[in-house]
Amino acid sequence: MEIQRKLRPVMFVGTSSDVGKSVITAGFCRIFKQDGYSPAPFKAQNMSLNSYATPEGLEIGRAQAVQAEAAGVPCHTDMNPVLLKPTNDQSAQVILNGKSIGNQSAKEYFLSSDRTELFEEVKCAYQRLASRYSPIVMEGAGSISELNLKKRDITNMRMAIAAGAATYLITDIDRGGIFASLYGTMALLEPEEKACIKGIIINKFRGDADLFQDGKKIIEELCGVPVIGIVPYFKDIFIEEEDAVSLKLKRNQPVNGKVNIAVVLLSRMSNFTDFDRLDKDSRVNLYYTHHREGIASADIVIVPGSKNTIEDLVELRQNGLAEAIVQAYKNGKTVIGICGGYQMMGEIIKDPQQIESAVGEIAGLGILPVETILLNEKTTRQCHFTYRDSLEECIGYEIHMGETLVHGVAQPVAFLEGNHTDGYFLSDKCWGSYLHGILDNQVVINDLVSPYTDLKVEDVDYLEFRSEQYDKLAVLLRENLDIDQVYQHIKV
């Protein structure tokens, strides 16, 4: 790709996690694309259970795939060279350049001597990306002022300095305390780190921003850098969220007159974005639950993916949800499983190499006549497929470490390229599939809800819908941020 105009990288960092860095990064990717540049996203290290398969069949954080989509370019591992996928409270699977290099405890990972070597890998990925695209739109992680982690940081200000990025500090005013968080963050930076910060973005503002002009001036005096804008809190632009932290805040009750769909809220739930399109179907009320009552009240129960299928299944047995899921199936409700949820719905899960747990094997829910063996080698690939007897082409992706064996002969859920099949279709109301994103396809959604409603909805091009959302986000940022000031800082 030939770059006509070269720009310095720009980076968005935060006073804490969940301040909106990922969404604003996606918005700037779309802005630069609209303005005739060739942007690409970059996040040195991501910690998330939400991941995606690249066209090459490698794994990166889902947020960087979304940002690449906003930039209009294929996603690549250079956009997220290090991905940490927590397997439990103490350890995580480490993905380097798209491939798993094993599990490490937090202590092993953060205190090991190979952080310098890892940072070199990160810088190499950045340089490869910067040779192909401009500008690189970088994202930090969490807070940039975690003093106990800064010496081993490969994501935030150390990366900003290495790349020479014009850096903007984002804070979330909706959670409160922004004066202290902004001032404290800036005060704890080293001089060379502070020199990178070109401005502040106040995010998620409710009400009339003109009423905050005095507050803006106070922040600028305290922090010594300009506030380049105040982004309003929005609910009418749909951009995928990076983390599942907000799921518990979403509605969690059935609604009369809708097809009620309950997603079982697993502790190690992965790829929760599998249900974003389903949530936008006007016939559906989608909610997340970890209560028996929530499952019993649903028409359709979905057991989602999990980074630790065995441990989540153990927890489902302990809290009574396993019994509730089986009872929903026996009562004639629709029960489906995606990836780890598909594995759980089988008869047994075996883990002979103790990849996920010290438990060597565990009985599944016994709904589907399949068994799963967990393997070291991970399957990661994008997929084109047809659903059941439909001829409509669908898209999805696989990310899993298990091989599921079918007992007897069964109709597959999906037919993939190369004469491959996926999943186990037991009945109209019960099936399991490894395909993340299967519910992004209207033909699958229509089949899922058809036993419960005669209403039809207009088929929507979901990729076009997503593109429209990036455009709307770009308009919002242009209206509320000083984009010209950003350009002044990144023009070479």
Tokens of 159: 């990366």
- How far apart are alpha carbons 431 and 422 in whole angstroms? 11
The per-residue pLDDT for 250 is 59
What does the mean pLDDT of the chain come to? 93
Q: How confident is the model at residue 113 (pLDDT cuts 50, 70, 90)?
A: low
Does 436 qualify as catalytic in the annotation? yes
- How far apart are alpha carbons 174 and 232 in whole angstroms? 10
- How far apart are alpha carbons 325 and 319 in whole angstroms? 12
Average pLDDT on 164-177 reads 96
CA distances from 267 to 159, 221, 393, 410, 423 (A): 31, 43, 33, 31, 24
Q: What is the pLDDT of residues 405-435, one digit of tens each?
A: 998 887 899 999 888 999 999 999 999 999 9
- How far apart are alpha carbons 337 and 304 in whole angstroms? 6
- How far apart are alpha carbons 149 and 2 in whole angstroms? 38
Name, in order, each residue with C-beta under 8 angstroms of 16's C-beta and a sequence gap of 6 or more: 142, 143, 171, 172, 181
The per-residue pLDDT for 357 is 80
The answer on pLDDT for 2 being more than 50 is no
The per-residue pLDDT for 3 is 44
Phi, psi of 15, rounded to the nearest 5 degrees: -80, -15
Average pLDDT on 215-231 reads 97
- How far apart are alpha carbons 327 and 312 in whole angstroms? 18
* Helix (H), strand (E) counts: the chain: 16, 26
Task: Find, among 331, 326, 328, 329, the residue nearest to 316 by Cα.
Answer: 326
Catalytic residue of the set 75, 76, 383, 436 = 436
Helix H or strand E encompassing 84: strand 82-86
Name, in order, each residue with C-beta under 8 angstroms of 70's C-beta and a sequence gap of 6 or more: 26, 27, 29, 30, 33, 41, 470, 473
Tokens of 301: 């129960």
The per-residue pLDDT for 1 is 41
Q: Is 68 exposed, middle or buried (0-12, 13-18, 19+ CB in 10 A)?
A: buried
Range of lowest pLDDT (101-110, 129-138, 234-243): 101-110
The helix-helix angle for 62-71 and 462-480 (nearest 10°) equals 80
Name, in order, each residue with C-beta under 8 angstroms of 53's C-beta and a sequence gap of 6 or more: 59, 380, 381, 382, 397, 398, 399
Range of lowest pLDDT (27-36, 144-153, 337-346, 444-453): 144-153
Q: Is the dihedral of CA 272, 278, 282, 284 positive or negative?
A: negative
Domains of the chain, start order: 10-238+468-490 (3.40.50.300), 246-460 (3.40.50.880)
481-485 long-range Cβ contacts below 8 angstroms, 24+ apart: 481/201, 481/228, 481/229, 481/231, 482/199, 482/226, 482/228, 482/229, 483/31, 485/198, 485/199, 485/226, 485/228
- How far apart are alpha carbons 19 and 139 in whole angstroms? 12
Range of lowest pLDDT (58-62, 147-151, 191-195): 147-151
Q: Are strands 59-61 and 40-42 parallel, antiparallel or unpaired?
A: unpaired
- How far apart are alpha carbons 268 and 255 in whole angstroms? 27
Q: How confident is the model at residue 151 (pLDDT cuts 50, 70, 90)?
A: confident
SS3 label, residue 118: helix
The answer on pLDDT for 378 being more than 50 is yes
Task: Find, among 223, 173, 135, 159, the residue nearest to 13 by Cα.
Answer: 159
Q: What is the pLDDT of residues 242-294, one digit of tens each?
A: 665 555 555 568 899 999 999 999 999 999 999 999 999 999 999 999 999 99
Q: How many CB atoms lie within 10 A of CB 418?
A: 4
Range of lowest pLDDT (14-28, 317-331, 340-354, 397-411): 397-411
Burial 267-287, CB ≥16 within 10 A → b, else e: ebbbbbbbbbbbbebebbbbb
In the chain, the percentage of residues whose pLDDT exceeds 70 is 95
Does 291 qualify as catalytic in the annotation? no
Catalytic residue of the set 339, 383, 394, 430 = 339
